Amino acid sequence: AQSVTQLDSQVPVFEEAPVELRCNYSSSVSVYLFWYVQYPNQGLQLLLKYLSGSTLVKGINGFEAEFNKSQTSFHLRKPSVHISDTAEYFCAVRSHSGNTPLVFGKGTRLSVIA
């Protein structure tokens, strides 16, 4: 079974400052890794995914994440945030093998302050 820990439930940051949202996972098998964003009263939108290959993945809206296998981490970063980035961010994993569902972290609420 897999599990995901998002280390910060809330992250306040000033506009144009950099941000890092932390995600650690636990799994006995290889996994795919995802970051989703949820804006108020909306569903989840895929920001980026790691399937294989380069450990640095770039997503939409200027976000990127780095897969670190030894640390079992997949932290999300953005060099300069905007007010519009205020949302809930979810890290998720899915096993390579078998028919297993996405397992989500509890989410991190990013609040960008003007």
Partner 1 sequence: KAGVTQTPRYLIKTRGQQVTLSCSPISGHRSVSWYQQTPGQGLQFLFEYFSETQRNKGNFPGRFSGRQFSNSRSEMNVSTLELGDSALYLCASSLVTGFYEQYFGPGTRLTVT
Question: Which positions touch partner 1 (CB under 8 A)?
Answer: 32, 36, 41-46, 49, 51, 90, 94, 98-107
Is the Cβ of residue 69 or residue 114 nearer to partner 1 in the bound state? 69
Is the Cβ of residue 7 or residue 102 nearer to partner 1 in the bound state? 102
Q: Least Å distance between CB 15 and partner 1?
A: 27
Q: Least Å distance between CB 10 and partner 1?
A: 13
- Cα(19)–Cα(83) distance, integer angstroms: 13
Is the Cβ of residue 3 or residue 84 nearer to partner 1 in the bound state? 3
Q: Least Å distance between CB 21 and partner 1?
A: 15
CA nearest neighbour of 51 among 75, 33, 29, 73: 33
Q: How far is CA 68 from CA 24, 32, 59, 85, 112, in A?
A: 9, 12, 17, 24, 27
- Cα(57)–Cα(23) distance, integer angstroms: 15
Say which residues have a Cβ less than 8 Å from residue 81's Cβ, sequence separation at least 6: 13, 15, 16, 17, 18, 19, 110, 112
Is the Cβ of residue 36 or residue 63 nearer to partner 1 in the bound state? 36
Q: Least Å distance between CB 50 and partner 1?
A: 10
